[in-house]
Structure 1
């Protein structure tokens, strides 16, 4: 039939078909311009269905047809339109090849390219093939999601997460729905994210991003940083609540009782400009001056800095890390009207990029290299060797820079008996750098208590006599500096290294640095104390006052370093549950295997040395909620409708405007009095002249 149509210069399409056990028994072929279409629109429309009478009915009878012959039952070889060979050839030349369609599908679904970028790519790869905008746009639209494919978005995501959790129990999934079974919130964590949460949960940044999906659900990201100070995504959640920011603040206080929430300094300043600038008008500048003086003052009117300066935040005062992750995610998205499935795909793509970057860094660190001995600080060779053994390259470089910068300072001993507190009423935190004090000496003494102080040293720059900082040596061989670098960043500052050069009472131990900065799971509790090289000959044997392992040498008495036993138990539960399911499937194959498993479990349960307390019910409520809802019936969130008139629609006029609507002014011919033409174009005038 195709060859007949090609010879007669027209196109045919397949119409009705009848099948019997998968075998076609009847088929109808019609012309491309057959059928009739009646439009219900009031606008001028056009259609290709002009009712061409061409028709061919063929059949392959089942009875009395042993050779499966095909018979033509009816044929009408008439057309009501001219046959044009050039149009058939043109349609064949403009059709995309299968390889071009595959490229368009890849660029649309994976790369999220627009029509301009795809046109340039296709023109460069297929220069001899003509490309027309309408055909390209229609092909692109065929690979984009439709309203029908987005009907069960929430159910697809929920089923996929349940499958992942079924395969590996360390996945964490929490979701909620309303009375109408509509999705209200969804949180999930991959096994890698759960492990990172346990290891790097001492400082977590949270930010909520809006306008990132077609349902208007807010995306809440929990971002941290690893031992190389690289950003890592720890958890993600979709929230339908518009007041998500206050809800997170309230949840932190109720769930994580020992957590201290700190608000971003940049967002606080932006809220001031947004909410107070207009109401205060001329007094706004004076308010800002008083506001920052109150916030940053170190000696009186303590408000913010006196609380936040003692908290470990990795040296951050703003949420720029989570803002960077937000910007990277938005760069991966096509627009803000995407579905939840596409959003989850892009999030996991970003997680894969994060894992690949970690693999590359691990490979780069494993390459054996020889360091230049000129860059090693000759004043702290033993300290540098200890740091190279324990710290990651990033943290090692930061400590080496601190050791190198320590030679530009001078340390002087302060007499404890005749100590005088300086007049520091006007001391204000103006800049967040290493040479700006974050705490006064009076506050430091009150903070560590006077009986715990061994010595106090004042630090000044070599070309100046003004005291910049104070370093207090503690009885437990720890220290605290007014720059608070050891507390806020977990880094031994340059001021303490200068004190090590001035006295043998200042010693270095790897436990001065938090274990989160260590390279791998290393234990530095059994390491010895180290002096500066100039004191190594005076005290060749470095002893410790601690009979057991050296604890974390922190100046805060009630500081607890990374205690997450509850989360560790949840991870252990997930691993045990996964191993138990695999063992159960294997044991059910034979009676002998099942009896061995029962004996092992009974022996383990009857052991008196093992704590019998179990929190399995609590774990089931926290980790798995699959039994509480049927994911296949979970409905999509209600689409978000923004303020104002939707784009592409006309404004609805009021009744008053419709009644008083004026008709469009039309010009009238001065010659004949009719409308629709001018005097110089009047046909009556031209007829009279002729």
Structure 2
């Protein structure tokens, strides 16, 4: 109902209560009705009204003088409940339901649940929203979300000593940084630290703190989250602190390779904190930064530049890369200081992103941070920019639980099902190889090499004649998407000449040319170099880059007695986890061949080298190929730690009793350690200033995203280009 007051001599002798649909809509604009917004009015000239009066002499004594109860429209239940201003107070049961779902459901959905449970009561959205906010505030410990999250992590550490977390506070006691790793995450990181991916994601908490996530690839080929940290910014100090905590949680176990975006702060932190680690740049972020820094400056030359850049980046040899860079890329920066400076900066770190240097490293087959971006998307489906810190932690823990369950399900499904894709011919041809893979290897290696075996029958080979008429080539394709597809499309990833130069002719026993049977133009030409120790190198670099035996070598096993298979060709990280833990795992078994399944003890060496020296040459050529033996055994057992601490305590007591200065130093150091682990009561939330109004951008957008509005030229007023690109 709506009321209208009729005033007389400063009094209100008459009040009219009418329906909210009473009256007729009067448009404010009558110039051009076609330009009015497409909207309707709720007014329907409803006659329902109540008129009350009060005599002027007896004011305020009200009486009803007119009553019309008829409506010209249908009454909804919500209108009846809204018009009936009954008690808005919420019972204890209602407050309990609101507390249970506070922060997890939308306020309107909570109102819907309340109306479902109590259909005869009217619920005001504002009242319910206030109750939700009150429940959120009461859930915090001392009003601090940082203290609550600290207490949650501290409780987990008390229950399981393998939990690790660290916090960093500013001078006012506010949370500045926080890092945590669960026992399973520490286990996975130590085991699969050969390839690590790190990236930041935003709008995951209401304090605007970036969430840094660290991801590895397990032996099933799945992405696993192994570390999380909240930081106040993206400075070098922030990233150094994250990497220091990562080393502290893993007992100073360095990652072999880490993929990062082109953030200079992260690269500087890696150089100072994990100097033993090889840092590689994500090619997707490389493409974004090129577009951001050079697209506008190059103008109409952009398309020619980006095509030349990716052709140069995908060169198969370092010398070819240098030649193409100087002839086809650097020329775009002539007489343009901004472009020349940017190209010089990225050229100085070409070892981090150019294929001649990246292609020979073991990267588990990845070239970008796409896996961690997928992890970020999964996390952000459960949180948003208004999520509390404890709720963010719970969402991440739920994600980890789902990952573990998925890993177990994949293992169960693989062990209980038969792969129908492998033909009977292939199963008979590589029976011993498949049996060895089933006994030793994990899901990813088994499935990938079954696929390579199936494709091997589609190839043909001939001994190399020594004539390599092919000019210097690169991986075909002009963008990063083509690079991801190149390994699947059977394209050459390195040149025969470069591999011969690195290996040396004295180590090479024989060279084969392998091509696809239907490839008349020999675009799929690959070269396989058989080495003296029984290993091989193929120009597809699948073994070096991903750790899997390629289809070209499986084909040679069918036509050459010299080509043998041994499970030690595969890096230990692709083995079953229970076998990686064994310190006495015997891998000195026989070499396996195709067709006849004949056992050969030594192959490819006139001196008869023992199996223990297998792959020694390939390890020298490509030292980045990891051969992890599982989790480091440097971790002290609990009994040994207790024994060492007891011995240290006796020495400390003898020392501090005779020297008061040493006593004060030891006391201060112990107090700092204890306070760092038990200071949640005084911990304050991170400093966050919320500005008025709508933020400048609703979300952080990519520089490659398509704009809703087309660019308009200031010269010709045409769309699709600006004045600089006008021609």
Q: In the alignment, is residue 138 of structure 1 matched against residue 114 of structure 2?
A: no
Aligned positions of 1:498-537 closer than 5 A: 498-522=555-579, 523=585, 525-533=587-595, 535-536=596-597
> Residue in 1 aligned with 2:325?
none
* Alignment counterpart, residue 252 of structure 1, candidates 253, 270, 289: 270
Q: Which moved more, 1:191-200 or 1:420-429?
A: 420-429
Which residue, 352, 355, 364 being the options, matches 1:305?
355
> 1:548 and 1:426 mapped to 2: Cα distance?
37
Asked if 1:347 corresponds to 2:396, the answer is yes
Residue 169 of structure 1 contacts residue 578 of structure 1 at CA under 8 Å; is this kept in 2? no
- The corresponding residue for 1:488 is 545
Output the aligned Cα RMSD: 3.8
Supply the distance in 1 between the matched residues of 2:139 and 2:599 (Cα, whole angstroms): 77
| CA-to-aligned-CA distance 1:39-91 (integer Å, 9 cap, x gap) | xxxxxxxxxxxxxxxxxxxxxxxxxxxxxxxxxxxxxxxxx999xxx99xx78
1:186 maps onto 2:178 in alignment: yes
Hey, what's the Cα distance between the residues in 2 that align with 1:385 and 1:492?
Answer: 15
Instruction: Tell me if 1:423 matches 2:470.
Output: yes
- What do the CA deviations read for 1:75-134 (whole angstroms, capped 9, x no partner)? xxxxx999xxx99xx78887656555444333324xx21123334445556656655434
Q: Quote how far apart the aligned CAs of 1:474 are.
A: 1.0
Is 1:462 matched up with 2:456?
Answer: no
Q: Where do 1:178-217 residues align within 5 Å?
A: 178-217=170-209
Matches of 2:574 and 2:640, distance apart in 1: 31
State the shift of 1:199 in Å: 0.6
Provide the C-alpha distance between the structure 2 equivalents of 1:543 and 1:512, rounded to a whole number of angstroms.
Answer: 15
Per-residue CA distance 1:268-297 (angstroms, 9 max, x = gap): 111122222222222222321222122112
* Whole-Å separation in 2 of the counterparts to 1:648 and 1:463: 58
**TM-score, normalised by the number of residues in structure 1:** 0.67
d(CA) in 1 for partners of 2:611 and 2:558? 28
User: In the alignment, is the contact (CA less than 8 A) between 1:173 and 1:187 conserved in 2?
Assistant: yes
TM-score for both structures, normalised by structure 2: 0.64
Distance in 2 separating the partners of 1:546 and 1:354: 44
Change (3 A) 1:509 1:247: same
Selected match of 1:635 from 684, 689, 695 = 684
- Bigger CA radius of gyration: 1
Q: Pairwise mapping of residues 528-567 of structure 1 onto structure 2 (< 5 A)?
A: 528-533=590-595, 535-536=596-597, 539-543=598-602, 545-547=608-610, 549=612, 555-557=618-620, 559=623, 562=626
Aligned residues: 518
Show structure 1 runs of 5+ residues with no match: 1-79, 585-596, 603-620, 650-690
Aligned ranges for residues 207-606 of structure 1 at < 5 Å?
A: 207-243=199-235, 245-299=263-317, 300-302=320-322, 303=350, 304-333=354-383, 335-364=384-413, 367=416, 377-415=427-465, 419-430=466-477, 431=482, 432-434=486-488, 435-467=490-522, 468-522=525-579, 523=585, 525-533=587-595, 535-536=596-597, 539-543=598-602, 545-547=608-610, 549=612, 555-557=618-620, 559=623, 562=626, 568=632, 572-573=635-636, 575-576=637-638, 580=642
In structure 2, the gaps of 5 or more residues are 1-59, 63-79, 240-262, 323-349, 580-584, 652-668, 697-727
**CA distance in structure 2 between the aligned counterparts of 1:264 and 1:479, rounded to whole angstroms:** 29
Q: Residues of 2 paired with 1:372 and 1:438: CA distance?
A: 27
1:153 paired to 2:171: no
Deviation per residue, 1:228-282 (Å, 9 max, x gap): 1111111111122333543322222223233211111111111122222222222
Task: Pick closer, same or farther for the CA change 1:151–1:194 going to 2, 3 Å.
Answer: same
Check whether the contact 1:473–1:480 (CA below 8 A) recurs between aligned residues. Answer: yes
Residues 637 and 336 of structure 1: is their aligned pair in 2 closer, same or farther, counting only changes over 3 Å? same
CA distance in 2, matches of 1:255, 1:412: 49
In structure 1, C-alpha distance between the alignment counterparts of 2:121 and 2:307, rounded to whole Å? 67
Matched-pair contact (CA < 8 Å) for 1:168–1:578: no
Call closer, same or farther: CA 1:280–1:215 in 2, change over 3 Å. Answer: same
Q: CA deviation at 1:625?
A: 4.4
* Alpha-carbon separation, structure 1, partners of 2:419 and 2:308: 54
**Compared CA separation, residues 466 and 512, structure 1 to 2 (3 A):** farther
Change (3 A) 1:373 1:451: closer
Change in 2 beyond 3 A, CA 1:116/1:629: closer
What per-residue deviation string (whole Å, max 9, x for no partner) do you get for residues 471-518 of structure 1?
111111111111111111111111111111120111001111111111
Structure-2 residue corresponding to 1:117: 109
SS of the equivalent of 1:532 reads coil
